[in-house]
Each structure stands twice: as structure tokens, then as C-alpha cells.
């Protein structure tokens, strides 16, 4: 058993350490209370006023570029490639000779037929003269004429056979990469090279059927593509499909663009905007003013503080609409002229103090370019 002095010493230690622990807990509690009641310093933000603008109605779609004329030039005959008269990627004119196939037997047969033609003509002329003197019958004259015409027809067929061994460009355009080599044996339908007419160029895109009555020929369109993100290309609607697809309920539209610089190429992806004649009034804010979230988008409306010269930030849920460049349409939640924070949103809290400093405001351009972003 413990004696009395040892017990007193243990009780004294417990009281000492307990007092120290209680003092630390009390100090921590008071410190937390002080932090909770401490006023946070005002957050510095930039601001912008809710603007009312008039926007021209537009429809947007994703499209694909297509050549006005674009084919894989193919061989119509079977044979060995004997000559290639083009370089990959060059521009050619309609009728330009691209490839020749070996045609010695066909040309020899053509010479044989031409010799037969001379004989058939002489026979026909001789029998015609004899018939005029009454020496030959009508049947003999008809036979001679028939033989002459058969030889002429055979020569036309043989000339076409020889011509099939000369592959020509069906229209003017730019060639792709050569797909045949010298000495290669090709068959009918084998591709020789791709040929594309690049200027002008088509852009095909679809829109939902509810917009069918709003689209007309010659309406202006603008186009952007990933290959030239900094450029905008202009054209106009050139054709509207006569039917609506019964599965997707979309209808096809064709736009034509000049493409004088040959920058646009068939198969490219394109973001297409179709300009309509109607206009509408909208409220807009810079994109940076909106805090996007899955449960709802919001902005911080800045109102003057009742005391002092600062502002108070009040979070407000908004309904966003169309986006154009750096601007976003606000359908519900704000009024024209209200000041909204456009930067430093992560530092803001509801009913928190704010200082506005607009020396370096974020961009708010409807048609931004990479230089001003």
C-alpha cells in the first residue's frame, strides 16, 4: 500500500498537470472564439455592370467541309503503268494526262483495223462505180457498205480501248498523294490519285426541324475550324435539303465558301454559325463573372456597404443562356446596371466585404482573338 507522503505527491502531480491541460484548453478555446469573431479583411476584385445589348439571332451547328468536286481518279482498264505524268500535290487542269498504261497490243490491233478500213473503202468505191454502170447488184453494194461500216465501228471501239489506257483529270483541281508506281499492274477501278476542287468549297451541317422555316438560301454563315482557330471564314447558304430525316428529325444544309486561299480542305471539322434576320434584347456579363457549378450557376452582386466606402458581395443564383466570345447571356437573376464581381470569386463569401479595383479587368469581348485573351 502507498504511504501518505507518496499519495500526496501523486495527487499534487495530477493537480499540476490537470491545471496545465485546463489552461491550454481554455487558451485554445479563447483563440478560436477570437478568430471566429475577427472581421476578415475586404477582398479586392474587379467588377462589371450588367449590360443590356441587342444580339442578332443566330443558330450554331457542327459541320464538315466537302469539295465541290472530289473523286479518286481510277483506271478504267487493266494493264501495267508505263508512264506517270504528275507530282503528288500539284494543281492540274481538266483533261490533263495523269497516267498511261501499256497499250502496245491494242495499238497494233488499231493499225490492223485501219488497214482493213482502207481495203473496205476501196472495195466499196469499186462496187459503187460498177453498180452505177449496172454491173453489180444492190445486194453486193449493201454488203460492201455494211463491211465498211463494221470496220469503222470496230476502229471506234478500239480507239476507246486505247484511250482507256490514258488516265486524265476529269476536272481542274489539286491532286493528292500518288497511289500507283511505274510497272504496277492495275485493274479497272483501282485508284490512281485523289483529285479535289477546293475553290469554292462546301460546308454541310444539320439543324433541328423546328428551325426549318427560319433558314433560307443566301443567308450569311461564318465558320471556324481547328486548323485555323484565329480565323473566321464567311460564306452563305447555297442549298437546303428538301426533306427532314425521319430518325434524327434534322435537315441538311449546304453552305458555300470562296476558299480563295485554299486553307479549307475537304473532311475538316467546322463550327458553323448561321446568321438570322431577327434580333433580341439580352442581359450580358463577362464569362469570368459566373461561378459555374453542377447545382446551379451564380454571381456575386456588389452593393455599397451601409458603413464605410466599401462594398458587400451577395451571392445570387442566375440562369445563363447563349455564349458569344467572352460574354454570357443572363436570362434570370440580375437587373441591368447592377455591379457584379468579375475576378477573385474564390476569395468571396456571401455578405463579405469587397474593394473594387478595375485597373486590370478581365477581357469581355464578343469576338475575342488570341492576342486579347
Least confident piece of the model among 263-272, 335-344, 361-370:
361-370
Higher pLDDT, 371 or 313: 313
Q: Tell me the per-residue pLDDT of 34-53, one tens digit each, with 9 for 90 and over.
A: 555 555 678 888 899 999 99
| Contact assessment for residue 321 and residue 349, using Cβ atoms and an 8 Å cutoff | no
Band of the pLDDT at 277, cuts 50, 70, 90?
confident
Q: Could you tell me the maximum CA-CA distance found in the chain, to the nearest angstrom?
A: 169
Q: Could you give the domains of the chain? A: 43-55+281-364 (2.40.420.20), 59-67+194-279 (2.40.30.170), 74-192 (no CATH)
Q: What is the DSSP letter of 366?
A: S
Q: Tell me the per-residue pLDDT of 102-134, one tens digit each, with 9 for 90 and over.
A: 877 777 777 887 888 788 888 888 888 887 887
Band of the pLDDT at 308, cuts 50, 70, 90?
low
- Contacts (Cβ under 8 Å, ≥6 apart) of 149: none
Q: Tell me the per-residue pLDDT of 49-84, one tens digit each, with 9 for 90 and over.
A: 999 998 888 889 999 999 999 999 998 888 888 899
Only one residue has cell 478581365, namely 362
Please say if the pLDDT value at position 251 is more than 90.
yes
What does the pLDDT average to over 224-243?
92
Q: What is the pLDDT of residue 40?
A: 63
Q: Quote the percentage of the chain above a pLDDT of 70.
A: 94
Q: What is the pLDDT of residue 373?
A: 47
Q: What is the pLDDT of residue 263?
A: 93
- Contacts (Cβ under 8 Å, ≥6 apart) of 169: 73, 92, 93, 94, 95, 96, 98, 195
Please say if the pLDDT value at position 30 is more than 80.
no
Q: Give the residues across from 237 on adjacent strands.
A: 255
Between CA 149 and CA 130 the distance in angstroms is 20
Please say if the pLDDT value at position 162 is more than 80.
no
Please say if the pLDDT value at position 370 is more than 60.
no
Amino acid at each position: 500500500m502507498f504511504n501518505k507522503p507518496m499519495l500526496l505527491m501523486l495527487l499534487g502531480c495530477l493537480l499540476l498537470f490537470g491545471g496545465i491541460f485546463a489552461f491550454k484548453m481554455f487558451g485554445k478555446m479563447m483563440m478560436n472564439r477570437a478568430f471566429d469573431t475577427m472581421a476578415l479583411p475586404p477582398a479586392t476584385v474587379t467588377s462589371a455592370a450588367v449590360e443590356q445589348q441587342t444580339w442578332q439571332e443566330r443558330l450554331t451547328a457542327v459541320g464538315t467541309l466537302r469539295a465541290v468536286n472530289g473523286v479518286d481518279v481510277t483506271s478504267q482498264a487493266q494493264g501495267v503503268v508505263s508512264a506517270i505524268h504528275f507530282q503528288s500535290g500539284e494543281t492540274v487542269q481538266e483533261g490533263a494526262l495523269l497516267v498511261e498504261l501499256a497499250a502496245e497490243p491494242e495499238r497494233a490491233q488499231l493499225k490492223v483495223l485501219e488497214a482493213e478500213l482502207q481495203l473496205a473503202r476501196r472495195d466499196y468505191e469499186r462496187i459503187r462505180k460498177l453498180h452505177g454502170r449496172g454491173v453489180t447488184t444492190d445486194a453486193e453494194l449493201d454488203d460492201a457498205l455494211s463491211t465498211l461500216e463494221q470496220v469503222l465501228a470496230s476502229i471506234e471501239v478500239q480507239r476507246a480501248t486505247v484511250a482507256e489506257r490514258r488516265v486524265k483529270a476529269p476536272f481542274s483541281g489539286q491532286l493528292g498523294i500518288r497511289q500507283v508506281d511505274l510497272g504496277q499492274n492495275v485493274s479497272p477501278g483501282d485508284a490512281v490519285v485523289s483529285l479535289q476542287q477546293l475553290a469554292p468549297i462546301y460546308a454541310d451541317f444539320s439543324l433541328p426541324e423546328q428551325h426549318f422555316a427560319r433558314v433560307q438560301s443566301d443567308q450569311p454563315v461564318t465558320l471556324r475550324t481547328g486548323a485555323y482557330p484565329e480565323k473566321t471564314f464567311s460564306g452563305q447558304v447555297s442549298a437546303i435539303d428538301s426533306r427532314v430525316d425521319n430518325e434524327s428529325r434534322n435537315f441538311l444544309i449546304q453552305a458555300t465558301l470562296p476558299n480563295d486561299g485554299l486553307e479549307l480542305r475537304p473532311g475538316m471539322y467546322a463550327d458553323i454559325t448561321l446568321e438570322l434576320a431577327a434580333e433580341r434584347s439580352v442581359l450580358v456579363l463577362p464569362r469570368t463573372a459566373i461561378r459555374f457549378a453542377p447545382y446551379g450557376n451564380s454571381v456575386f452582386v456588389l452593393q455599397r456597404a451601409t458603413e464605410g466606402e466599401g462594398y458587400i458581395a451577395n451571392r445570387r443564383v442566375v440562369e445563363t443562356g447563349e455564349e458569344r466570345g467572352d460574354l454570357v447571356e443572363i436570362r434570370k437573376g440580375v437587373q441591368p446596371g447592377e455591379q457584379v464581381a468579375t475576378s477573385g470569386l474564390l476569395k468571396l463569401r456571401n455578405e463579405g466585404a469587397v474593394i473594387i479595383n478595375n485597373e486590370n479587368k478581365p477581357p469581355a469581348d464578343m469576338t475575342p482573338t488570341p492576342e486579347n485573351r
